[in-house]
Amino acid sequence: MAHLYISAAHKSSGKTTLSIGLCRAWRKRGLRVQPFKKGPDFIDPLWLGRASGHACFNLDFHTMERDEISAAFAAELRGADLGLIEGNVGLYDSTDLAGANSNAALAKYLQAPVILVIDCQGMARGIAPLLLGYRAFDPELHIGGVVLNKVASTRHADNLIRAVEHFTDIPVLGVLPRDPAMTIAERHLGLMPANEADQAEAWIERIASLVAEHIDLDRLLGLAETAPLPTTGAPVPAIPAATAVRIGIARDAAFGFYYPDDLRALARGGAELVEFSPVTDPEPPAVDGLFFGGGFPEYRMAELEANRSMREGVADFIARGGPVYAECGGLMYLCNTLRWGDERRVMVGALNAEVEMCPRPQGRGYVSLRETPAFPWPESATARDVRRRTVQAHEFHHSAVVAPHPDWTYAYEVLRGVGIDGRHDGIVQGHLLASYAHLRDVGGLNWTERFLTHVRRCLGA
Output the pLDDT for position 63. Answer: 95
Residue among 424, 357, 363 nearest 40 (CA): 363
pLDDT of 385 higher than 60: no
Give the model's confidence band at 256: pLDDT under 50 very low, under 70 low, under 90 confident, else very high. very high
- State CA 172 to chain mean position distance: 30
DSSP-derived letter for residue 182 is G
In our burial notation (b when 16+ CB lie closer than 10 A, e otherwise), range 391-421 reads bbbbbbbbbbbeebeeebebbbbbeebbbbe
pLDDT digits (tens, 9 = 90+) for 427-436: 999 999 999 9
pLDDT digits (tens, 9 = 90+) for 168-215: 999 999 999 998 877 766 655 556 666 655 688 989 999 999 999 999
* Cα distance between residue 395 and residue 363, in whole Å: 6
* Cα distance between residue 329 and residue 10, in whole Å: 29
Report the length, in residues, of the chain: 461
Q: Report, in this order, helix, strand and coil percent for the chain, each rounded to 5.
A: 30, 30, 40
Output the pLDDT for position 199. Answer: 82
Strands (E), 39-80: 57-59
Average pLDDT, the chain: 93
pLDDT digits (tens, 9 = 90+) for 63-89: 999 999 999 999 999 999 999 999 999
335 catalytic per annotation: no
353 class by beta-carbon count within 10 Å (0-12 exposed, 13-18 middle, 19+ buried): buried
User: Is 0.85 surpassed by the pTM of this model?
Assistant: yes
Task: Note the helical H segments in 307-426.
Answer: 308-319, 329-334
Strands (E), 341-448: 343-346, 351-357, 363-371, 390-397, 399-402, 409-416, 424-429, 432-435
pLDDT of 382 higher than 70: no
CA-only gyration radius of the chain, Å = 23
Torsion angle (degrees, nearest 10) of CA 379, 383, 389, 391: -110
Output the pLDDT for position 387. Answer: 47
* Cα distance between residue 52 and residue 85, in whole Å: 12
Which one is catalytic: 56, 328, 358, 458?
328
Beta-carbon contacts of 202 under 8 Å, excluding residues fewer than 6 positions away, are none
Give the model's confidence band at 234: pLDDT under 50 very low, under 70 low, under 90 confident, else very high. low
Paired with 59 in beta bridges are 38
* Cα distance between residue 430 and residue 166, in whole Å: 68
Element (H, E) at 66: helix 66-77
186 class by beta-carbon count within 10 Å (0-12 exposed, 13-18 middle, 19+ buried): exposed
Give the model's confidence band at 133: pLDDT under 50 very low, under 70 low, under 90 confident, else very high. very high
Which range, of 20-34, 122-136, 180-194, averages the lowest pLDDT? 180-194
Element (H, E) at 439: none
User: Are 82 and 34 within 8 A, CB to CB?
Assistant: yes
Element (H, E) at 214: helix 200-214
How many CA atoms lie less than 13 Å away from 61 in the CB half-sphere? 16
